[in-house]
């Protein structure tokens, strides 16, 4: 899909986070070229691009590094510290969307954090091996962790639902490489894809693969089928694979989630893996931050 590019001057870059576990988020881009069919950010960003298809545009905050430098200095003065909490890349885009290869905004923001000597935790979550280009800077940061979203181990499934994202086999290879180079990693298994990732054997195979890739922490999240996400996803499934719709609908209830949580907890038993937030996440159950 061709991307409509819009370079802009952002007013702010380090924003308070509504995500569990994160204090701040940095989104160097608005929009995301990966175009995942289950993406919740597609709805959040809609107010700026009401009629454009998710994945077809990218707003590029070209002043992100300069802004970040100023905002870090202001926060240091206010907090008298170089640690203001956990900074997360990114909440409504992939920080390594393909055009990062041209604009290097995520890289430049990481460089700013490194030059500043940020002492708090920094998290990066992506679906792209493009993050490997920044290992030199990642190694300079004091407390950084890189996560890959892994929803399946089948490239055909990742291509089907994460339409323009790098296939999952490339992500697993990138996790291995990060681990080999000494960068701490985690995997975000979310959303848990009904039909494709719904058995003990699926979860065990996935966890074996991730541990083999050097992952020490995993996060699990149930699929969010709130009305707007569902409308976009089901419109796509209706055209591409209508037999999946009842499978997805079946998974959208508390009984299914409770049962599957038990399966996941059993699969985690005896493994040397940390579980993010200590539980399988479902967006409705999370405390809302102000
Ligand atoms: S990579 Fe993340 S932000 Fe981008 S479309 Fe997929 S789910 Fe949405």
pLDDT digits (tens, 9 = 90+) for 71-87: 999 999 999 999 999 99
- Local confidence band at 50 (pLDDT 50, 70, 90 cut-offs): confident
Residue 43 has pLDDT above 90, yes or no: no
pLDDT in tens, 198-246: 999 999 999 999 999 999 999 999 999 999 999 999 999 999 999 999 9
C-alpha distance from residue 201 to each of 2, 99, 288 (Å): 38, 37, 34
- Local confidence band at 288 (pLDDT 50, 70, 90 cut-offs): low
Å from CA of 242 to ligand 1 middle: 23
- Local confidence band at 102 (pLDDT 50, 70, 90 cut-offs): very high
* Neighbouring residues of 119: CB distance < 8 A, sequence distance ≥ 6: 81, 82, 83, 142, 143
Which atom of ligand 1 lies closest to the CA of 90? 3
Å from CA of 77 to ligand 1 middle: 34
pLDDT in tens, 235-274: 999 999 999 999 999 999 999 999 999 999 999 999 999 9
Name residues contacting ligand 1 (CB within 6 A). Answer: 32, 34-36, 39, 41, 93-94, 127, 162, 165
Are 119 and 142 in contact by the 8 Å Cβ rule? The answer is yes
- Local confidence band at 18 (pLDDT 50, 70, 90 cut-offs): confident
Å from CA of 37 to ligand 1 middle: 9
pLDDT of residue 44: 77
Which atom of ligand 1 lies closest to the CA of 40? 8
Mean pLDDT of 174-181: 98
Given ligand 1 and candidates 28, 163, 165, which is best to mutate, with the most ligand atoms within 8 Å of its CB?
A: 165
Given ligand 1 and candidates 31, 34, 59, 160, which is best to mutate, with the most ligand atoms within 8 Å of its CB?
A: 34
Give per-residue burial for 164-182: e unless 16+ CB within 10 Å, then b: bbbbbebbbebbebbbeee
Q: How far apart are CA 79 and CA 27, in angstroms?
A: 23
Å from CA of 34 to ligand 1 middle: 6
pTM for this predicted structure: 0.95
Which residue, by CA, sits nearest to atom 6 of ligand 1?
36
CATH class entry, domain 4-285: alpha beta
């Amino acid at each position: 899909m061709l991307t409509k590019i819009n370079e802009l001057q952002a007013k702010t870059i380090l924003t308070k986070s509504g995500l569990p576990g994160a204090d701040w988020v940095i989104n160097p881009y608005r929009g995301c070229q990966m175009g995942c069919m289950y993406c919740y950010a597609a709805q959040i960003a809609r107010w700026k691009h009401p009629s454009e298809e998710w994945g077809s545009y990218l707003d590029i905050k070209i002043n992100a590094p300069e802004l970040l430098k100023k905002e870090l200095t202001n926060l240091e003065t206010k907090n008298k510290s170089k640690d203001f909490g956990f900074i997360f890349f990114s909440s409504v885009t992939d920080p390594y969307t393909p055009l990062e290869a041209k604009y290097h905004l995520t890289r430049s923001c990481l460089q700013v954090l490194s030059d500043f000597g940020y002492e708090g935790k920094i998290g990066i979550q992506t679906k792209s091996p493009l993050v490997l280009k920044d290992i030199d800077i990642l190694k300079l940061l004091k407390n950084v962790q890189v996560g890959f979203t892994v929803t399946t181990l089948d490239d055909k499934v990742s291509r089907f639902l994460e339409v323009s994202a790098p296939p999952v086999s490339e992500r697993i290879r990138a996790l291995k490489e990060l681990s080999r180079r000494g960068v701490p990693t985690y995997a975000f298994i979310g959303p848990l894809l009904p039909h494709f990732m719904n058995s003990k054997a699926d979860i065990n195979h996935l966890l074996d693969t991730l541990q083999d890739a050097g992952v020490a922490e995993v996060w699990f999240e149930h699929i969010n089928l709130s009305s707007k996400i569902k409308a976009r996803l089901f419109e796509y499934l209706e055209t591409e694979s209508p037999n999946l719709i009842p499978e997805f609908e079946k998974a959208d209830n508390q009984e299914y989630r409770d049962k599957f949580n038990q399966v996941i907890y059993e699969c985690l038993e005896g493994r040397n893996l940390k579980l993010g937030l200590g539980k399988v996440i479902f967006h409705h159950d999370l405390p809302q931050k102000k």
